[in-house]
Amino acid sequence: MERKILRTECPDSKGLIAGITGICFEHQLNIIRNTEYVDPVSGQFYMRTELEGQFNDAALLQQLDQMLPAGSERSLLPVSRRKRMVILVTRESHCLGDILMKVFDGSLQLDIAAVVGNYPELADLAERFGIPFHHVCHLDKSRQAHEQALLEVIESYQPDYLVLAKFMRILTPDFVERYPERIINIHHSFLPAFIGAKPYQQAFERGVKIIGATAHFVNNALDEGPIIEQMVSRVDHNYSAQDMAKAGRDVEKAALTKALKLIQEDRVFVHGNKTVLL
């Protein structure tokens, strides 16, 4: 008995649920949980089906391909396979630390292949958890040369996803295009409020009563990719910009690790510039 996730994405038409679940039934697979969404504007259909049983992947997928309309995407992913992540950091430790702690205690079931920093400060923390750390310094390098150096390290690990855990550098379009829907960033504001640099300073100057953090996929427009998760925390006039930044750490790490959990469970579908979480 194995457990797998079937993900389906295609233009909507009548009978899709019946068709897909019917094929699963023919294969004598048990549906543990089924969640679907049809976007009423675009008419795009999304479904996540958690299946249990004995799988004949090739036959199952072939039957699905015959039934599904043109332009469909589907995948069948074993629950037991851990996704492989490379984490990029700068100097702040709270997001990296929370990921490492959650992998340590089983709250996240991911493989952290390596940590790459443009500063060396977090080498010690990564190594305490037995994770290789690479210092790829950006000083005295062009942006292209630095990204080339990053890519060499990253590619040696063949990751499924890159996690920007407070990586404070903007990536070029060339870099981003290599990992479509595979780079997850934590932005330290409640996007789209306070796009860009120093969001806590901006929040302080605006006098907001709530701060937030946003975990999102990175695309080529700064701070504009599909949002996966957002969390917030109350502040008041007693908070300096630095106090807000400190208070923000807890929501940053919580939003990022929640997003990673959703990725781990194959729940995140990208629909244009949005996510559908099933």
Q: Please give the residue ranges that form the binding site for a copy of itself (CB under 8 A).
A: 14-19, 21-22, 24-25, 28-38, 40, 92-94, 97-98, 101-102, 104-105, 107, 125, 128-129, 190-194, 205-210, 212, 226-232, 236-238, 240, 246, 249-250, 254, 271, 273-277
93 in the Ramachandran plot: left (φ > 0), alpha (ψ -120 to 50) or beta?
alpha
Separation CA 132–CA 231 (nearest Å): 30
Give the nearest distance from C-beta 153 to a copy of itself in angstroms. 24
Could you tell me which residues come within 8 angstroms of residue 261 by beta carbon, excluding any fewer than 6 positions away? 107, 108
Q: Decide whether 118 or 230 has the Cβ nearer to a copy of itself.
A: 230
| Radius of gyration (C-alpha) of the chain in whole angstroms | 21
- Nearest residue to 126 (alpha-carbon basis) of 155, 103, 149: 103
Least distance (Å) between residue 240 CB and a copy of itself: 7
Q: Which is catalytic among the residues 98, 223, 250, 266?
A: 223
Nearest approach, Cβ of residue 105 and a copy of itself (Å) = 5
Instruction: Find the shortest distance in angstroms from Cβ 103 to a copy of itself.
Output: 11
Q: Active-site residue 98, yes or no? A: no
Q: Which is nearer to a copy of itself, 173 or 192 (CB)?
A: 192
| Residue 176 near residue 220 (C-beta atoms within 8 A) | yes
Query: How, if at all, do strands 210-217 and 183-187 pair?
Result: antiparallel
Q: Catalytic amino acids?
A: 223
